[in-house]
Structure 1
Amino acid sequence: MWEASFWGFVGGFALLVGAAAGIWLPTSRRFVGLIMAFGTGVLFSAVAFDLTSEAYDRSGAEAVVLGLLGGALVFFIGDWLIDRHGGHRRKSQNGSPEGAGAMALVLGALLDGIPESAAIGVSLVGGGSVGVAVVVAVFLSNIPESLSASVGMRKDGRTVTYVLGLWGAVLLASTISAGLGYGLLGSAPALVIAVTQSFAAGAILTMLADTMVPEAVEHAGALVGLVTAIGFTCAFLLSMTA
């Protein structure tokens, strides 16, 4: 469990790296959009080869379908509720709509980050080593997520303390989620592990389509598709050699 928590911390620490870059480094909208596109491609690969494929190998198609649809539905409902309270632009560099609540931003960040971290912990189940590709995917995708959102929050007038505190809280939750992902499933049947893996995959996939891709396209335009494919390719090669 401690190893899983450590790797969850490593993946989540990128949130603070991205937040610091968004606060103190000059970054163009286009650059952030392209970095977000690369992270999207990396996560697509992790979902396909390190979560869904492994879940299928563990327990077959039924577990995968159940988990994917369950994860997608839970994320969709949670995201819909957060959107209604002003959190639907939480990854935008342009800031949130007037009246967006701080709690919506916090819950939105948690909703986006916890499935990724739980996937890191699940990758250790069965006595294997940590899924390197999953950790790298989470790390690389977290940087543009928090960078873009932090730029937007600063435009909204949020203080540096607030922004860093928000991502620090998400980092803590991510670390705990990774540990729980392993601790609760360490001796679970293969079916339960497979459903959990694909559940995380479904939630991540829905998050990518709902928040990451639209923001990347808005800020970087037509190049997003190409850069996403490059990110996918890099992560795929890592998955095959790790």
Structure 2
Amino acid sequence: MLTAVFWGLAGGSSLVVGALLGLFAPLEKRIVALIMALGAGVLISSVAFELMDEAFKDGGFGAAATGLLLGALTFFLGDLAINRAGGKHRKRSEGQQEAGNASAIVLGTLMDGIPESVAIGVSLLAGGTLSWVFLAAVFLSNIPESLSATVGLTRAGHRPFQLMLMWTAIALVSGAASGLGYLLLNHAPANVTAGIQAFAAGAILTMLSSTMLPEAYAEGGAMIGLATTCGFLAAFALGHL
């Protein structure tokens, strides 16, 4: 469990790195968008060839398909509620968060990261080892997310100390979610573990398509498609070499 917590913290720590960059060394919007797209491509590849492939091997098609669809539906409903509560622009860098609700923004950001953290814990449980390609995907995708959001929240009037406290808390929750996923499923049947793994995969895919990639395209334009494909190919190649 401690190993799961450690790797969950390792993946979530990049949120703090991105926040520091947003506060003290903000990058050009297009560069942030390209990094976000690269991270999204790596995550898509990892979801397909790490999470779903393992879920199918351990639990069969039924568990994998059911978990995937339930994860997608759960994130969709949660994201819809967060958006209506004022957290729609949580990843934007132009200060749109000023028109939203701070609590909804925090909850939305937390919701975006929890599936990845749970997937880390469940992956350790399923295979005994963690795919470093998936961990790299989580780490890489978190940096532009917190960087862009930090820039936007700063422009909306939020103080740097409050923002760093928020991102640090979310990173700690990410570690806890990873450890909790490992602990609760330690003696669960293989098809249940596979279903939870696929559940995380569905939530991640829905998050990418509904929040991360649209925000990246809004900031980076048509190059986002190429960057996403390059990220996918890089993760595919590294995972099979």
Task: Return the TM-score normalized by structure 1.
Answer: 0.97
Amino acid at match of 1:23: L
Is 1:186 the counterpart of 2:186 in the alignment? yes
Identity across matched positions, percent:
53
Task: Confirm or deny: 8 A CA contact 2:89 2:100 kept in the other structure.
Answer: no
SS of 2:161's equivalent in the other structure is helix
Give the partner amino acid of 2:205.
Answer: L
Equivalent residues of 1:41, 1:229 under 8 A apart: yes
Secondary structure in 2 matching 1:85 = helix
1:135-214 equivalences in 2 (<5 Å): 135-214=135-214
Structure 1, gaps ≥5 residues long? none
Q: Partner residue of 1:51?
A: 51
More helix by share: 2
Q: Is the 8 A contact 1:124 1:130 kept in 2?
A: yes
Distance in 2 separating the partners of 1:45 and 1:95: 31
- Partners in 2 of 1:216 and 1:206 — Cα distance? 15
What's the offset of the Cα at 1:85? 1.3
Aligned to 1:77: 77
For each residue in 1:167-225, what CA deviation from the matched residue of structure 2 results, as whole angstroms up to 9, or x when unmatched? 11111110001101111112211110110000000000000001111111111111101
In 2, the alpha carbon distance for the partners of 1:67 and 1:127 equals: 18
Deviations 1:56-87 (A, max 9, x none): 11111111111111001110111111101110
**How far has the Cα of 1:33 moved from its partner?**
0.7
Structure 2 match to 1:100: 100
Superposition RMSD in Å: 1.1
Aligned mates of 1:131, 1:49 — CA distance in 2: 11
Q: Is the 8 A contact 1:126 1:186 kept in 2?
A: no
2:21 corresponds in structure 1 to 21
Measure, in 2, the Cα distance between the counterparts of 1:115 and 1:210: 15
Q: What does 1:226-237 align with in structure 2 at a 5 Å threshold?
A: 226-237=226-237
8 Å contact from structure 1 (residues 19, 164) kept in 2: yes
- The superposition leaves residues 141-170 of structure 1 with CA deviations (integer Å, 9 ceiling, x where unpaired) of 100111111111011011001111111111
Question: CA offsets per residue over residues 71-111 of structure 1, 9 Å max, x none?
Answer: 01110111111101110110011123544111101100110
Q: Check the 8 A contact 2:26/2:147 in 1, yes or no.
A: no
Q: Which residue of 2 aligns with 1:68?
A: 68
SS at match of 2:46: helix
Question: Which residue of structure 2 aligns with residue 134 of structure 1?
Answer: 134
- The one-letter code sitting in structure 1 at the alignment partner of 2:75 is F
Using the alignment, how far apart are the partners of 1:126 and 1:213 within structure 2? Answer: 29
